Amino acid sequence: MCAPLCLNGAMTAIETARTLARRQVRAEILEAARRHLADGGAEGLSFRAVARDLGMPSSGVYRYFDSRDALLTALIIQSYDSLGEATEQSLERSVGWSPRERWVAAAATIRTWAVDHEHEYALLYGTPVRGYAAPDDTVVPGTRVSLALMRIVAEAWRDGALRPPVDPPALQPGSQRDLAALLATLELELPEATLLAVLLAWTQLFGLISFEVFGQMRGLIADHEAFLRDSAREMATRIGL
């Protein structure tokens, strides 16, 4: 009577062990690939080098990733998720703070992640990899950080802590359509001018971080963290936080 049950239990345990083992090897491949990003960038990433680090034939890597692009995609998703999670954790830690200080804290968290993960940041926001087209799988992870920033603004609007634009700009018809469509997609009721200010702040934030990470601010700014925080406060002012 118990033989089938025992057999099913054993098979389940075997499958679980295989799944865990596969997950472990996949994680080791990604870690080795991440190290190679630091050496030669995404352009120089090769299955052979990754496999050599792990003591396996290059064909073994294909059991987990069927192409270099698949490996790049996994690295991109992992990096986006890491950055998104760090930003979301910043929001959780800053519950109860003023919207302005929540924005500044989130901006500083993004900068810290970028500085601590320079090569992953370059993979996400640096020069595009030739011949690589990011698949749809990267879209949701890629929006986590921007949605976290938008959440600060949306919650401030909900709580009556967001100042509406005093002198909203005269938008071009194309910009009006794009902003209205984005508000509908995000299911937000923000003024279009506020959304424009958020988008401008978002691009400025990543522009500042990219300039620091890629060495464009060398000789201009000594205390990058202080400059980032001061800049983020100015962004918050323009948004109405």
Tokens of 173: 């018809």
The DSSP call for residue 179 is H
The ranges assigned to domains in the chain are: 1-66, 67-239
Homologous superfamily assigned to 67-239: Tetracycline Repressor, domain 2 (1.10.357.10)
Q: Which residue has the higher pLDDT, 202 or 171?
A: 202
User: Which CATH number fits the domain 1-66, given the four candidates 1.10.3120, 1.10.150, 1.10.10, 2.30.29?
Assistant: 1.10.10
Asked if the model's pLDDT at residue 7 lies above 60, the reply is: no
Residue type, 231: S
Q: Which residues fall within 8 angstroms of residue 211, CB to CB, at 6 or more apart?
A: 217
Q: How much is the average pLDDT of 18-47?
A: 75
Tokens of 69: 């692009």
The DSSP call for residue 83 is H
Length of the chain: 241
pTM, two decimals, is 0.86
Q: What is the pLDDT of residues 55-84, one digit of tens each?
A: 777 777 778 888 888 888 988 999 999 999
Q: Which residue has the higher pLDDT, 31 or 163?
A: 163
- Of all residues in the chain, the percent with pLDDT exceeding 70 is 91
Q: What is the pLDDT of residues 123-175, one digit of tens each?
A: 999 888 888 888 888 999 999 999 999 999 999 999 999 998 777 788 899 99
